[in-house]
Amino acid sequence: MGARGELFTTQVYLDNRSYFFNVKENRTGDVFLQIVESKNRDGAEQDRLQIAIFAEDMQKFLQGMDKSLEFIEKERKARQKQQREKKAAKDAKYGKKIYKVKVEKEEKAEPSVKKTGRVHVVSKKASEDK
């Protein structure tokens, strides 16, 4: 047994958090699981939160954990299905056609032709001079 009643310890490291799963025994001989979350804040400062689950409550705790994980997985699958349906509806509405714009060669305009937007104005004076 360890210095603080530790029987077993394992750790999980994530981006800015660490989780410690400690199996401990207290002075009266009760075995429990201690879960400690250590959170880094702005470098050196750390927040530590911990919970303890005693051996006789472990099965109920795990059942609650399993139900929660099943719910999370079910919701994730439902969201993915909803996103696929939404994308399929959008594709059906607008189609997946790729439109290519045909670029025509620019013709050299005569000096008497003025281009203003879509309308081409030809000066009458220039055409009378020819």
Q: What percent of the chain has pLDDT over 70?
A: 68
Q: pTM, whole model, 2 decimals?
A: 0.56
Give tens-digit pLDDT for 33-74: 999 999 887 766 688 899 999 999 999 999 999 999 999 999
* 50 in Cβ contact with 35 (< 8 Å): yes
Tokens of 51: 């919970």
Q: Would you say residue 129 has pLDDT above 60?
A: no
Three-state SS for 93-106 is HHCCCCCCCCCCCC
Helix/strand/coil for 71 = helix
